[in-house]
Structure 1
Amino acid sequence: MIGGLGIGAQWLAWRLQMPAIVLMLAAGLVAGPMTGLLDPEAAFGELLRPVVAVAVAVILFEGGLTLNLHELRATGPAVRRMVLVGAPLGWLFATLASRYGAGLDWASATVFGGILVVTGPTVIIPLLRQARLKSRPAQVLRWEAIVNDPVGALCAVLAFEVIAALAGAGTLARAAEDFALGVGVAALAGLAVGRAIAWAFRRGQVPEYMKVPVLFGAVLAVYASTDSLLHESGLLAVTVMGVVLANARLESFEELRRFKEHVTVILVSGVFILLAAALDTEQLAQLDWRAVLFILAIVLVARPLAVSIALAGTGLPWQEKLITAWIAPRGIVAVAVAGLFGARLVELGFEDGARLPPLAFALVAATVVLSGFSIRPVARALGLVSTDVPGVLIVGGSPWTVALAERLRGAELPVLVADRNWHRLAAARAAKLPYYHGEILSEAAEHHLDMNAYGTLVAATDNDAYNTLVCTDFAPEFGRSNVFQPGRAEADGNPRGLPVTLGGRPFGGGLTHAELARRGTDGDGFRLSELDKEQADWDAWRAAHPGASPLAVLSGGEIGFLGRTDPPRLRAGDRLLWLAAADAPAPPPGGNDAPDDED
């Protein structure tokens, strides 16, 4: 039931283009306190808290893996100010809102304030795609969420360490000693194990198929061992371990990161359903007017104050500061950590700790709904919606790719030609096309190119293996249906060839690079035709153009490339990009917008 509800809610959210966290919250509440179908305490018994604790440890380790310090240095002053100044201020103001708005005791309010620093990258990034914000405010919100994901958890862990030390030691000096010991042991353990794993991976001491199991086992071992020595130091240790590995420049890091993302999706779904179902009617009844006051204080006072102070003097216009202050949805990390530390605080004698999970759920639901429904109207009102249509990124500079890029530019589509060879970009430079000189798979490309500006990638070099590598690497970012490459020169089914499971979809109906080079540069091979009602019939168009290769359909200012088996859905007014047959006559001048029957 937990797996079906959690993964099902995430899939349904993807289908409906909604924040998954809202549907998971609804599913957990329906299955738990509303219907009683799922009672985690009865089902798991004493295993419930260890299961949640281990899941939170893996989630925080995943958060640490996203904190690349090199990338942080390259993000610009606004993001650094949001992390270095905004996070501590956010912690302070959220603590005050928890104390005076929700009425929590100081211990619970301090821990909860640290948790609320997190703004949830799993919620923010889909919202940014949906709203299509301009590049600069989108980058500030995106990087703040990514970097503050582990930072917020660290704030909560450190606050809890101090409170636990004070509760157990009795004197301030003893508490400071216990705190320093706990933080020191956790940091050293995370640092030592992280470096040991990096050393072993880099020198080939662990085979490829064992890297993920070794990493996963090490996370569990570090968490359990440090936590048994010093209570709650395990979460800090695994977060430090993740940060160390994120900055170790491992060759296999992308594969490790993708696997941990898959594991995290499963754990996030399970933990969220468990925590939502574990709420009882008494806890939900605690969400009174003070909970509403707390949410308003966070949304309207704490966040705007922290952002305005952090971004003062950065030169950002007030519109960008305003949307940064308004868009701050909390995510799964806030709920997971609140559920874990709430129970721990109750064990230490702080009864208000029991109020943390329902308050976290209420804040998450409120901020996700507010941000999700308002981001586009607010951005439009502030003039921050990007008016650019998603463009096409073409990897490979050659005469036919330049001809294709020119045709796309003529259709008023953003296009970029990328190649690591300066001389192969000569034709693109001569045509005054936007270009990128460098390795598209490098970190430099990540930092200098705004990938959000492009919706489709065409890997079109003369090297099939490299095209396959590029498409495989970018498929998770663009979506597998939006990465294309020319047909491979080798025969299908060749046991010695590249696996068919790798790479992108065939571009140009499966034509190879050599065939595209011959046909695309013979005269004016690429055609762009506007279709009337009769020409929008696909079978009739094919019959009228034997030997032609349809490439893409432009509809409503956006482009949809066609795979080998995709039957295009044509409508009157659409424009069809196609490659003429080798013996087709050249179109008359001005053929870009010429009707199809004039080509």
Structure 2
Amino acid sequence: MHLDIWLLLGATLVLCAIIAVRLSHKAGLPTLLAYMGLGLLIGESGPTHIQFDDVELAETLGLAALVLILAEGGVTTSWRHVRPSVPAALVVSTIGTLISIIVVGLAAMWLVGLDWRPAFLLAAVLAPTDAAAVFSVLRRLPLPSRLSGLLEAESGFNDAPVVIIVVTLSAHSGVPNLTELLGVMLYELIAGGIIGFAIGWLGAQGLRRIALPASGLYPIAVLSLSVGSYGAASLLHSSGFLAVYVSALVLGNARLPHRPATRGFAEGVGWLAQIGLFVMLGLLASPSELPAQIVPALVVGFVLLLIARPVSIVVSTIGFKLSWGEKMFASWAGLRGAVPIVLATIPMVEHVESADRLFAIVFNIVVVFTLLQGPTLPLAARLCRLKSDEQTRELDVEAAPLEELHADLLEVRIPLDSMLNGVEIFELRLPHGASVTLIVRNGSSFVPEPTTPLQAGDTLLVVTTASVREATERRLRAVSRKGRLAGWFGETGA
């Protein structure tokens, strides 16, 4: 095809995918189903008859897309939100993952008749929850913060140990040395986490001190640092997936200039990576081979959903303050998506026995159980009697550095549910060196008086010296959460 035809086809696919986002959002489904459907539609069995069977290229592009999706997940995840759940998430994504692999692997051997190697490869491939699916569905549900934080952090952490297991099982025909495997896994996870944190922290320090000539360069720098951490960790034989998520988490929660713009850019890149990834996986699948693996997929899928996932959640959350309702919901909310399908290409590249069959089983499981779990999550939350404990949502604050003045310009948008509504300017009690210089209200701007009351929907321009910028942001957040008497309630805005 000519370039113009490819560009037209690509643009049309992206626009169709964007429309599919709206439709899947209303249905409560992860968008991956629509994207993979587009891939199947234009694939070998569709009207365009596009042939795509390069497994090695699919593996490479798939892993690259997962890196971008994890980077987007880290940048857009609130550390304040997930911090209390990180210890539980680490246990679930390691010990819980191993429990799930053992249960599903044994079931695949006994019930499906697979040999031990493809059986445990199948179990490992299916073990991780999918970050894109979790972020796109669960962030719309009113869940307790410790539960939603657990599920978000788990989806960011659990790719790393699973990749190690899948690569090891795919590369070795014999039984791997379990002690050696656990040692390698421990090293790769610890080293990957350290590398990701170091790159994220150093990058944040540098971006705070360097005035870039254009605001659009900050998002590019953040994403480049996150992706670069994957490469650095991989070169040092450690977990690149954990490194990219940790570095993106650090950078996304650092007080950098143009944070909303950075998050918006990361979300756009993440969406584009999802669209390309799922369409490619739909192209890679052979519709004629999928029906033959429906029954094995249903057997393995129900074992995973009804036995392996609940057991892994219950066992790995012992000692953590989760109610039985939260544990049951976490069991049902273990959404699978692109990650298992991408991981299923690794055995195909290594020419593992029954690799094509494993890919078909995994593809069927992802489609069928996404259709089953996605739309029923709101019902599951109600049955488990879960509700959000989140308070007023965070202010959207963007900092634009004014280097020559050694000052910052903060752009503060007051949300509808903020307790800043009705507070007068003097009641903000901003630190010395900070001042509200302009208010934009209903399309008009004006300079406020000390007694000017703020309103929901206002946009404030606050000029502050660099030394008190963080204190100013904390004070604004505190008043937004607790009102003019925030200090009396012990609210610090941290």
Which TM-score band (shorter chain)?
0.5 to 0.7
Aligned 8 A contact 2:313 2:327 in 1: yes
The residue type paired with residue 306 of structure 1 is: S
Identity %: 20
Change (3 A) 1:511 1:128: farther
> Which residue of 26, 38, 44 corresponds with 2:37?
26
Alpha-carbon distance in 2 for matches of 1:385, 1:177: 40
Task: Write the mapping of 1:449-468 to structure 2, written as runs, cut at 5 A.
Answer: 456-457=417-418, 459-460=420-421, 461-463=423-425
Structure 2 counterpart of 1:251, one-letter code: R
Which amino acid letter does the alignment assign opposite residue 13 of structure 1?
A: S
Structure 1: how far apart are the matches of 2:88 and 2:44?
Answer: 43
Question: In the alignment, which of 295, 313, 334 is matched to residue 328 of structure 1?
Answer: 334
Matching of residues 196-345 of structure 1 within 5 Å:
196-204=202-210, 208-218=215-225, 236-237=239-240, 239-247=242-250, 250-252=254-256, 254=259, 255-312=261-318, 314=320, 316-331=322-337, 335=338, 337-345=339-347
Structure 1, residues 250-296: CA drift from partner, whole Å, max 9, x if none?
32284434422221111011101110122113431342321110111
CA distance in 1, matches of 2:384, 2:189: 44
Tell me whether 1:9 sits opposite 2:13 in the alignment.
no
Q: Does 1:348 align with 2:355?
A: no
CA contact (8 A) 1:99 1:105 kept: yes
- Residue type at the aligned position of 1:250: A
User: C-alpha displacement at 1:177, in angstroms?
Assistant: 10
Q: Tell me if structure 2 keeps the 8 A contact 1:195–1:245.
A: no
Change (3 A) 1:304 1:237: closer
Would you say the 8 A contact 2:125–2:166 is kept in 1? no
- Structure 2 stretches lacking a partner, 5+ long: 1-8, 396-410, 429-435, 459-494
1:521-560 equivalences in 2 (<5 Å): none
The residue type equivalent to 2:42 in the other structure is A
Report whether the alignment pairs 1:90 with 2:94.
Answer: no
In 2, are the aligned partners of 1:29 and 1:277 still within 8 Å (CA)?
yes
Q: Separation in 2 of the partners of 1:122 and 1:41?
A: 24
Match of 1:118 among 128, 133, 138: 128
Q: Structure 2: which amino acid aligns with 1:118?
A: P
Shift of 1:330: 2.0
* Cα-to-partner distance string for 1:5-50 (whole Å, 9 max, x where unaligned): 43332233235554323322333333325424262627x8985554
User: Counterpart of 1:363?
Assistant: 365
Q: Is the 8 A contact 1:121 1:145 kept in 2?
A: no
1:299-351 residue CA offsets vs partner (Å, 9 max, x unmatched): 111112122223445565444433332332223xxx2x334333332232313
Is the aligned partner of 1:74 residue 2:84?
Answer: yes
TM-score under structure 2 normalisation? 0.65
CA distance in 2, matches of 1:170, 1:113: 16
The question of whether the paired residues in 2 share the 8 Å contact of 1:94 and 1:298 is answered with yes
| Structure 1 position 510, deviation (Å) | 9.4
8 A contact 2:39–2:279 mirrored in 1: yes
CA 1:269 to 1:102, structure 2 compared with 1: closer, same or farther past 3 Å?
farther
Q: Is the 8 A contact 1:120 1:145 kept in 2?
A: no
Q: Is contact 1:105-1:352 (8 Å) kept?
A: no
SS in structure 1 opposite 2:43?
helix
Native 8 Å contact 1:127 1:372 kept in 2? yes
Amino acid at match of 1:35: G
Deviation string, structure 1 residues 164-183 (Cα, Å, up to 9, x no partner): 66469999999999989988
Structure with greater Cα Rg: 1
Q: Normalization by structure 1: what TM-score?
A: 0.55
Task: Check the 8 A contact 1:114/1:152 in 2, yes or no.
Answer: no
Shift of 1:185: 8.3
| Counterparts of 2:381 and 2:187, CA distance in 1 | 47
Kindly indicate whether the alpha-carbon contact (under 8 Å) linking 1:161 and 1:179 is maintained by their aligned counterparts in 2.
Answer: no
Task: Report how far residue 61 of structure 1 moved.
Answer: 3.5
Deviation at 1:379, TM superposition (A): 4.0
Give 1:358 shift. 3.2
CA contact (8 A) 1:81 1:311 kept: yes
Task: Check 1:131–1:191 CA distance in 2 against 1; reply closer, same or farther (3 A cut).
Answer: closer
The reply to whether residue 154 of structure 1 matches residue 160 of structure 2 is yes
- Equivalent residue for 1:423? none
CA contact (8 A) 2:35 2:275 kept: yes
Amino acid across the alignment from 1:214: A
Secondary structure (helix, strand or coil) at the match of 1:147 reads helix
C-alpha change, 1:151 and 1:377, in structure 2 (3 Å) is closer
Superposition map of 1:96-111 within 5 A? 96-111=106-121
Tell me the C-alpha RMSD between the 2 structures: 4.9
Alignment check: 8 A CA contact 2:392 2:418 kept: yes
What is residue 475 of structure 2 aligned with on the other side? none
The aligned residue for residue 142 of structure 1 is 148
Residue type of the alignment partner of 1:240 = A
Could you say if the C-alpha distance between residues 351 and 458 of structure 1 is closer, same or farther in structure 2, counting changes exceeding 3 Å? Answer: farther
Match in the other structure for 2:431: none
Q: Do the aligned residues in 2 keep the contact of 1:118 with 1:153 (CA within 8 Å)?
A: yes
Q: Distance in 1 between matches of 2:34 and 2:271?
A: 14
More contact order relative to length (CA 8 Å, sep ≥ 6): 2
Equivalent residues of 1:200, 1:206 under 8 A apart: no
What displacement does 1:159 show?
0.9
